[in-house]
Chains A and B, each alone.
Chain A
Amino acid sequence: MSEEQVENQMNEEKIISAEIVVSKVLRIGVLVSGFVILLGLILYLAAGDSGYPADTYPTTLIGILQGTGSLKPAAVILFGLFLLILTPVLRVGITILVFVKAKDYLYVGITSLVFIILIISLLLGKAG
């Protein structure tokens, strides 16, 4: 093997170990969000009350966080759902680090571009 091939091989191995990190972080994110959603659902079923007037629930981040602080079931569920929605964003963020570690700068660029577009579309959606 040439020197370049050896280096590529090493970088590929770094990608493999970094992918395991992505998988583990993702598992933690999924477990935490799943637990929060489950907690909210149990609170709701136990109390038989969402903590808000019929058919309403908070729709702002601040409202969701405040409701979660006072353990209102609907808000706790929405907070868990919000964490779940963040897991793919987290995944793209960590993938950038995977490629940085493997010194694959082409994909650091591509993944960062996806990350930026994702953030822009989130912001656009909020404005629209």
Chain B
Amino acid sequence: MMVIEIFGIAILAGIVGSVLGLGGGIVVTPALTMLFGVDIKFAIGASIISVIATSSGSAIAYIRDRITNLRVGMFLEVATTVGAITGAFIGGLMAPSVLYIIFGVLLMYSAYVMVRKTKQELPQEVPLHPAATRLNLQGEYYDKALQKSVSYNVDRVYSGFGVMYGAGVISGLLGIGSGSFKVMAMDVFMKLPLKVSSATSNFMMGVTGAASAGVYLFRGEINPFYAAPVALGVLIGATVGARIMQRMKSRTIRKIFIPVMAYVAIQMILQGLGIKLL
């Protein structure tokens, strides 16, 4: 019963995606192609469905529990969506290999910065950037693992915005959500708490993903018989994951996040250099 097996893997993808803020495509695409021999075209179609299912499934809890920072999400979404349109246009004009390498190296650097942050649970002594004051980006959430309310500031708004624009260009070129860049921009550059970065990344990813998913659907690249068990499994997994994540220590989430980030970085650099994995 292939449907049930895909459903099971999709639950796992939903949990991983909602905890890390990555959307679940990182699990779904390789699983469908390698374990089930699904055509890469349909695997990508199913993974974009998984991104939206992770985003909407987890957002129910993340927004209700106020982990998602709606202002940060919407402000950065401007950069991502404009970037995605740019990416879709320049896709035919230039070789994306330079961008792959630049962003691969940037991700590597961020993984390194994150390694140094593994000892701290919450960002310490973050200054409030003047632009963040004007945009009212700072926030507060209740951390269920620490059992206390956490107030936070937002730093380096312009760098975060710039990285998100680049992330949008990449996702426009690749046609995927590139959640690792979103978490990177918020965690490493803007110094938000990791849980807020992950929840806000999940929120944004669905918005960016919806535009491309519509295109895939009407191009016939979303096969209903693969996408249905993926959507249902991921919705369940993301609902569960959004609850698990809130009770996890940020340090633990970070330790899972770093190797995933390094893996994506290496894959991008190799792709930029013209070396194809799998």
Contact = CB atoms under 8 A, between A and B. Distances in A.
A23 interface: yes
A87 to B, nearest CB: 4
A-B interface, 6 closest residue pairs, ranked by CB to CB distance from nearest: A125-B215, A88-B206, A77-B224, A23-B64, A59-B220, A121-B211
Nearest to B210: A88
A120 interface: yes
B19 interface: no
A84 B214 contact: no
A87 B119 CA distance: 37
The number of chain B residues touching the other chain, given as a range, is: 35 or more
Contacts of A111: 74
Contacts of A30: 56-57, 60, 235
B207 A88 contact: yes
Contacts of B84: 121
Given A77-B225, A84-B231, 16 more contacts: A23-B63, A30-B60, A41-B3, A44-B228, A60-B218, A78-B224, A81-B227, A84-B52, A85-B49, A85-B213, A85-B217, A91-B56, A110-B74, A117-B81, A124-B85, A128-B215
Interface in A80-128: 80-82, 84-89, 91-92, 95, 98, 104, 106-107, 110-111, 113-114, 117-118, 120-122, 124-126, 128
Contacts of A33: 231
B70 A20 contact: no
Interface residues of A, number: 56
Interface of B: 3, 49, 52-53, 55-57, 59-61, 63-64, 66, 70-71, 74-75, 77-78, 81-82, 84-85, 88, 135-136, 203, 206-207, 209-215, 217-220, 222-225, 227-229, 231-232, 235
Contact of B206 (A59, A91, A124): A91
Nearest to B73: A95
Nearest to A121: B211
Interface of A: 15-16, 19-20, 22-23, 26-27, 29-30, 33-34, 37-38, 40-41, 44-45, 50, 57, 59-61, 73-74, 77-78, 80-82, 84-89, 91-92, 95, 98, 104, 106-107, 110-111, 113-114, 117-118, 120-122, 124-126, 128
A45 B228 CA distance: 12
A57 B223 contact: yes
A34 B88 contact: no
Given A20-B64, A41-B3, A26 B59 contact: yes
Given A37-B231, A98-B70, A118 B225 contact: no
